[in-house]
């Protein structure tokens, strides 16, 4: 009972640290990462599928490097590397760029599978109507691919939400950073971890419900 009593006391005193600052920074970091990661992922995907050997090689190597190394290592590279190029860049932005590039490389593979899943007859029909390759991709293939991969993008949002916990290494303000702050003030480690676990669980459950509803609507529209 003392454990839950301490949890209640912590939440009564530090609820703003957890729910306003922590959750707020987590959702901001996740939303921006997935939004720009999806946009950048499209360009990486198109480069990977292009006939240009240079673009193909660059996108392939970038994807393999990002997918073949730990995210925390990548965040360290951006955290220490970007300030050398841009000395005034904030820590939050450095970490955000690291998350975005990581997400973009994974999303690019999702886009690629979505594009390849579109019936080739759609492309042939578009070309027979006079559309060039770019028009066919932008107006016919890509919209259908995006519809196919929306559930996967929703799952990417959930994954990034949990992965933002790595940002606490750089003390950027998300939920795990809130844990470090409150734990340092209260010295109640397990109680603070319990609160953080509940917060992440609630966020992921809500996001799972939203993704599930989106998938049902897509199946209905089909």
- Please compute the mean of the pLDDT values over residues 9-28 and round it to a whole number: 93
DSSP symbol at 129: T
Query: Does 149 score more than 90 pLDDT?
Result: no
Distance, CA of 16 to CA of 22 (rounded, Å): 8
Residues 181-216 pLDDT 10s: 999 999 999 999 999 999 999 999 998 888 888 777
How does residue 218 score in pLDDT terms, banded at 50, 70 and 90?
low
pTM of this prediction? 0.88
How does residue 220 score in pLDDT terms, banded at 50, 70 and 90?
low
Compute the half-sphere exposure of residue 112: CA atoms within 13 Å on the CB side of its CA: 20
| Complete domains list, the chain, with CATH | 2-221 (1.10.3720.10)
């Amino acid at each position: 009972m003392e454990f839950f009593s301490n949890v209640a006391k912590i939440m009564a005193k530090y609820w703003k640290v957890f729910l306003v600052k922590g959750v707020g920074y987590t959702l901001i970091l996740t939303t921006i990462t997935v939004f720009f990661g999806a946009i950048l992922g499209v360009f990486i995907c198109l480069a990977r599928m292009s006939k240009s050997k240079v673009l193909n090689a660059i996108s392939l190597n970038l994807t393999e490097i990002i997918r073949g190394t730990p995210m925390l290592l990548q965040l360290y590279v951006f955290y220490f590397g970007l300030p050398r190029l841009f000395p005034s860049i904030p820590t939050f932005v450095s970490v955000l760029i690291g998350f975005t590039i990581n997400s973009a490389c994974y999303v690019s593979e999702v886009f690629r599978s979505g594009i390849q899943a579109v019936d080739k007859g759609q492309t042939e029909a578009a070309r027979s109507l006079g559309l060039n390759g770019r028009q066919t991709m932008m107006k016919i293939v890509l919209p259908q691919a995006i519809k196919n991969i929306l559930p996967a993008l929703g799952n990417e949002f959930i994954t990034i939400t949990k992965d933002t916990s790595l940002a606490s290494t750089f003390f950027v303000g998300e939920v795990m950073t809130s844990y470090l702050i409150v734990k340092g003030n209260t010295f109640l480690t397990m109680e603070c971890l319990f609160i953080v676990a509940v917060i992440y669980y609630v966020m992921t459950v809500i996001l799972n419900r939203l993704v599930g509803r989106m998938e049902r609507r897509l199946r209905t529209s089909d």
